[in-house]
Structure 1
Amino acid sequence: MDVDDEAMRQYVPASFGKQDNSVNVEAQIERCRRKIVDESKPQAAAKDASLDSDKDSDDDDSDDDEDEDEFPVSHELVIKTHDRPVTTITLDPSGTRLVTGSKDSTLKLHDLSALTPTTIRAFKTVDPFETKPSAAAEAHAIHQVVFSPHSGGQFLVITATPQARLFSRDGDMIKEYVKGDMYLRDKLNTKGHTAEVTSAAWHPSNRDRFVTAGTDSTVRIWDVNKSLQQEQVVVHKSRAAGSAGLTRMTAIAWGAAAEGNKSVIASAALDGSLVLWGGEGPYHRPLGEIRDAHVKDTWTSGLDISSDGRLVITRGGDDTIKLWDTRKFKTPVNTTSHPSTSSQYPTSNIKFAPNSASVITGSETGHLHILNPATLRPELLTPVTPGSPLITVNWHPKLNQIFTGSANGQTTILFNPKLSTAGALTILSKAPKKRHLDDDPHFTTDMDPLGMSGEGVEPGGKPGPAPGSFASRHPTVGLTASGRSRDPRRPHIPQTTPFAKSTPDEKYVRENIELSSMRDEDPREALLKYAPKEGEKNVFTGAWEKTQPKAIYKDYDSEDDEPNAKKAKR
């Protein structure tokens, strides 16, 4: 009888009514705890392996826990985003929208507030080149994706092309900035970059300005709303022998200045130089220049400015990391050895922590390095993707979580439940989504835009509404399978072709072409604006009054005395 009772309980519920389906959040978070936190302290691992119960070991363990809680790296959440290396990661200021770029020429958009532990995936994949049919056969890697720090509504996309692109937070392209004429030798006369753009940065306080650096040896400052020409051009004159005054710009950063309200732009070049410019101009002379900041012909991939504008950190292709002081911009404050991955992954970056108290970067072994900016010594060394190089890092200030991208296409979120907020914790606080029957494509049916059943086939072979369906009962409501309206009174909207996409409309002409508003102006009224009033001096045609004879016309007493019109010729 006992065996039968147990079998019966497996099929019959023990209680009735509404069940409590609350999720155990602490258990879900605990499953994300990382085994190895810090490899820079091997003695700590040995102490954790030992099972000593004396008082001294307890004190050491408590000290290790305090060190572990200093940085948000105690837990991790893995997102398999791309099939090829992840080259760049960016988040909006609120920390809800995550965008990753890869060598597979695609962008992945994630909504962190809508993900669940079983549905961690991108909600949209964007190809930046799908808007151009001519570029369908081309595939360019994504160099950099940068969200605007002032509003989460748009982000810049830098690809291996001369044109920067502006996208909305939903993945729709807003603007494509102009490409310069590559046959002009004077770089100051081109309207845009004439070669590949490598890096970009937003203005720290002005939401309408950003800067780009390219391999055409120029730094260009743009207005977000003007895509046909940049605002300013700064040509980097290389001092290296044999370069003919030109070199490739490898990285750029725009940050607040150490003193005053102005900003500074720091740029690195392939000739090993590091240049500091005034962010608000003038741009004819740099604030400071170091010719041999790194070894010549090595790719300086990482560059960042601290939040107070006093320090600049660089990660060069000569296997070094150097710290610079903007107030004494001559020699590095500190230098440390760090193997470079810029030869294979040119977007390997280095970043200051939000409070500038730490510096983070990746390594070829897949470890995350958290360095002390004063000494550049590792404060924490933790493996993220062992055996796969860690390319890009991002420490979000609001979430207090570290996002990393690796060469195996994996994006990892490092966090600490005691220090972090939202982000990964929001995902783990939700119940796992149960698999629905509709998730299997073999059991789904095609639905029309109104959510009703699909169309059938009429006896004549033409598609038509199925008998008894919603479409058959309401023949003029909704859309057909091809997207056309069933209402015969509604005009048909022509399909948008690639030619129509490239044809400028009235709004585009008015906003992007200068003086285009003159097309709607009456030329006679425009000329009469300059006509002199009574008593005023004629400025434009006053000289003619002295040289031109006065017209003399005959006066007629009545209309009858006026000469008749010429007779028509026979």
Structure 2
Amino acid sequence: MSDIPVASEVPDEEEEALQKFLGTTSFGKQTKGAEVNNRFEQSKRSQPVISQGDKKTKRDEDDDDDSDESDEEDECPVSHEMVFKTHDRAVTSITLDASGGRLVTGSSDCTLKFHDFASLTPSTIRAFKSVDPSSVKGSASSETHPVQHVEFNPIAPSTMLAITAHPQPRILDRNGETIAEFVKGDMYLRDMHHTKGHISEVTCGVWHPQDRNICATGGTDSTVRIWDINNPRQQKTVIVHKSRAAGSAGRTRITALSWAATAQSNLLVAAALDGSLVMWDANGPYTRPAAEIRDAHKKDTWTSGLQLSSTGQLVITRGGDNTIKLWDTRKFKTPLRTVDFPSISDQYPTSNICFSPRGTELLTGSANGDLHILNSATLRSELVTPITPGSAIISVYWHKELNQIITGSANGETHVLYNPNLSQGGAKTVMLKAPKRRHIDDDPNLTMDLSHGIGGDAVILPGGSAPSAASFAARHPTIGLTASGKSRDPRRPHIPNTTPFAKSNADAAYIKEHIPLSGMREEDPREALLKYADKAKNDPLFTNAWATTQPKTIYADLSDEEEDGPDKKKAKR
């Protein structure tokens, strides 16, 4: 027995290195709960949560601080996150349908990205469709415009309002297909009441909260236009905002819109570049506003954030003068609260501020990438957490049904914040799924590009200069497509492959068989008309009635020898 060798104990360092190499996956049957908890743990945010109200800067100061901040985290779903990296530029607008199943984001890269939570897995977090809302189907024009605003219809989630930096907003369906395009007005008319649509760039828009067919848009032509999507050829109502600022000639730019309707009130509020805040009774008439504040914010500053509360009693504005103000619609003269908050509207005009589903909190982003949750009564920061450090947060959205917060940043990332205990569906549903298993052939770096074939004298060496996709891409960084289907050269659009049928002209037989009336090209037009001369004379179709109603014309009989006709009288001199 003494000759049997005894296995030596593995040192702790070697055991840790072996465990790191093998990973955390263990053999045998795994419980589903353990896998789900592991995925939740992987999506847990590592960024600290800073409570400004209590002057706390660290999560681990003491046990009391940890318990207080954990309570704040439980109130707001910010403990876990899921990240979309589907845009190339800043995310300017975010919207979800009423059920929270589909997420649509707009960006300054002139595209809308469509995401379905039901089809996503932890390893396949990507958009299933990309749409350019400013392009015209069937047109050869390549003109594109940045997305200003996109919003699902709160009553009919099958439609959405898409606004780009263009005079014509559009109504899209859930899949991004254009349902209606609003008409463009006549830019040569001075009176905006007589134009049928916007004559310049549209900056903002909003749906009617109770009517699925009505929406409103505001533009740089100093008008707010109310549309019926069933009649896109002319607006239903045009509201002309007459600016009273000196030197504006009565015109200004509408920067933000908000609409709230309850049993007691129906209000439409707009903010303008001249610093004014205007409120109308949405039931009409619109000849004059119900209330107007001329100096709500500083003149010539872009008020990007504006929203009415669900009750229609409070209005929150975030102006370009580095202030956030709270207003009461029942006493629409002076703000209830005013706090200083750095603005990013000069660089990102679509930065917004919104109420939480409960109406007790406000949500907005900052230039350094922090998410701020403010108290709606005091406008004090209750919760501040970094989302994209170094990149400004432009758009924020708090979904009621999902109880999840979605943010869009200047670096093109979309973050979905959630809490496994408080949130329902959305990102939580994605994390509950098992990651999609990938085959080794799905990686283009490990496969060969055989589209051009391999020469007979080619020598394929592992890791050498083989004609693989990776080596070809390394030698030609601007040729071909990436694994995601995008062009490697950002300046060059994708050009479809040229087929053999497009390289040569079609032969005569093909033209004769497939092109109607192609044989008329070889026919003499004079002979083709003379074939019907006798038929037109004997059986006139259009002049048959003239044979009995018109008199016969009498002509003088002249011979061919007479050149000048009958003798003419000499002119008297």
TM-score normalised by structure 2 residue count: 0.72
Distance in 2 between residues matched to 1:220 and 1:131, nearest whole Å: 23
2:69 aligned residue: 64
Distance in 2 between residues matched to 1:267 and 1:24, nearest whole Å: 49
2:50 aligned residue: 38
- Specify whether residues 167 and 443 from structure 1 end up closer, same or farther in structure 2 by C-alpha distance, changes over 3 A only: farther
1:233 aligned residue: 238
Counterpart code for 2:245: A
- Specify whether residues 97 and 130 from structure 1 end up closer, same or farther in structure 2 by C-alpha distance, changes over 3 A only: same
Distance in 1 between residues matched to 2:185 and 2:142, nearest whole Å: 22
**412-421 or 207-216: which moved more?**
412-421
| Contact kept in structure 2, 1:129 and 1:135, CA below 8 Å | no
Distance in 2 between residues matched to 1:343 and 1:202, nearest whole Å: 26
Distance in 1 between residues matched to 2:284 and 2:137, nearest whole Å: 36
Counterpart code for 1:69: D
- Specify whether residues 135 and 195 from structure 1 end up closer, same or farther in structure 2 by C-alpha distance, changes over 3 A only: farther
Distance in 2 between residues matched to 1:279 and 1:198, nearest whole Å: 20
- Specify whether residues 567 and 298 from structure 1 end up closer, same or farther in structure 2 by C-alpha distance, changes over 3 A only: closer
1:121 aligned residue: 126
Distance in 2 between residues matched to 1:408 and 1:567, nearest whole Å: 83
Is 1:310 aligned to 2:313, yes or no? yes
Distance in 2 between residues matched to 1:232 and 1:351, nearest whole Å: 27
Cα deviation, residue 64, structure 1: 2.5
- Specify whether residues 244 and 432 from structure 1 end up closer, same or farther in structure 2 by C-alpha distance, changes over 3 A only: same
Distance in 2 between residues matched to 1:401 and 1:98, nearest whole Å: 12
Distance in 2 between residues matched to 1:315 and 1:61, nearest whole Å: 32
Is 1:353 aligned to 2:325, yes or no? no
What SS does structure 2 have at the residue aligned with 1:376? coil
Greater Rg, structure 1 or structure 2?
Answer: 2
- Specify whether residues 130 and 567 from structure 1 end up closer, same or farther in structure 2 by C-alpha distance, changes over 3 A only: closer
**373-382 or 37-46: which moved more?**
37-46
2:426 aligned residue: 423
Distance in 2 between residues matched to 1:218 and 1:229, nearest whole Å: 14
Cα deviation, residue 439, structure 1: 3.0
Q: What whole-Å deviation, never above 9, does each CA across 1:313-339 have from its counterpart, x for those lacking one?
A: 000000000000000001001000011
Distance in 1 between residues matched to 2:362 and 2:72, nearest whole Å: 16
What SS does structure 1 have at the residue aligned with 2:330? helix
| Contact kept in structure 2, 1:129 and 1:136, CA below 8 Å | no
1:408 aligned residue: 411
Is 1:222 aligned to 2:227, yes or no? yes
The percent of aligned pairs where both chains have the same amino acid is 56
Counterpart code for 1:439: D
- Specify whether residues 187 and 62 from structure 1 end up closer, same or farther in structure 2 by C-alpha distance, changes over 3 A only: same
- Specify whether residues 43 and 222 from structure 1 end up closer, same or farther in structure 2 by C-alpha distance, changes over 3 A only: closer
- Specify whether residues 236 and 45 from structure 1 end up closer, same or farther in structure 2 by C-alpha distance, changes over 3 A only: closer
1:443-522 residue pairs with structure 2 within 5 A? none
RMSD: 3.0
Which 5+ residue runs of structure 1 have no aligned equivalent? 4-9, 51-56, 447-480, 483-491, 495-565
1:156 aligned residue: 161
Q: What whole-Å deviation, never above 9, does each CA across 1:511-567 have from its counterpart, x for those lacking one?
A: xxxxxxxxxxxxxxxxxxxxxxxxxxxxxxxxxxxxxxxxxxxxxxxxxxxxxxx99
Is 1:29 aligned to 2:40, yes or no? yes
Is 1:393 aligned to 2:396, yes or no? yes
2:190 aligned residue: 185
1:552 aligned residue: none
| Contact kept in structure 2, 1:307 and 1:355, CA below 8 Å | no
Is 1:281 aligned to 2:284, yes or no? yes
1:255 aligned residue: 260
Cα deviation, residue 62, structure 1: 2.4
Counterpart code for 2:98: P
Cα deviation, residue 279, structure 1: 1.1
TM-score normalised by structure 1 residue count: 0.72
Distance in 2 between residues matched to 1:199 and 1:303, nearest whole Å: 11
Distance in 2 between residues matched to 1:330 and 1:2, nearest whole Å: 88
What SS does structure 2 have at the residue aligned with 1:49? coil
Counterpart code for 2:437: K
| Contact kept in structure 2, 1:438 and 1:444, CA below 8 Å | no
What SS does structure 2 have at the residue aligned with 1:158? strand
* Residues paired across the two proteins, number: 439
1:326 aligned residue: 329
Is 1:300 aligned to 2:312, yes or no? no
Cα deviation, residue 77, structure 1: 1.1
| Contact kept in structure 1, 2:271 and 2:278, CA below 8 Å | yes
- Specify whether residues 253 and 15 from structure 1 end up closer, same or farther in structure 2 by C-alpha distance, changes over 3 A only: closer
Distance in 2 between residues matched to 1:15 and 1:365, nearest whole Å: 45
| Contact kept in structure 2, 1:262 and 1:280, CA below 8 Å | no
1:326-345 residue pairs with structure 2 within 5 A? 326-345=329-348
2:562 aligned residue: none
Distance in 1 between residues matched to 2:550 and 2:104, nearest whole Å: 80
Counterpart code for 1:424: A
- Specify whether residues 287 and 439 from structure 1 end up closer, same or farther in structure 2 by C-alpha distance, changes over 3 A only: same
Distance in 1 between residues matched to 2:27 and 2:305, nearest whole Å: 61
- Specify whether residues 2 and 28 from structure 1 end up closer, same or farther in structure 2 by C-alpha distance, changes over 3 A only: farther
Cα deviation, residue 15, structure 1: 9.7
Cα deviation, residue 223, structure 1: 0.4
| Contact kept in structure 1, 2:53 and 2:380, CA below 8 Å | no
Distance in 2 between residues matched to 1:198 and 1:567, nearest whole Å: 67
Cα deviation, residue 151, structure 1: 2.2
Q: 1:95 aligns with which of 97, 100, 106?
A: 100
Cα deviation, residue 437, structure 1: 5.2
1:175 aligned residue: 180
Counterpart code for 1:124: K
Cα deviation, residue 136, structure 1: 3.3
1:77 aligned residue: 82
Counterpart code for 1:363: S
- Specify whether residues 155 and 44 from structure 1 end up closer, same or farther in structure 2 by C-alpha distance, changes over 3 A only: same
**65-74 or 133-142: which moved more?**
133-142
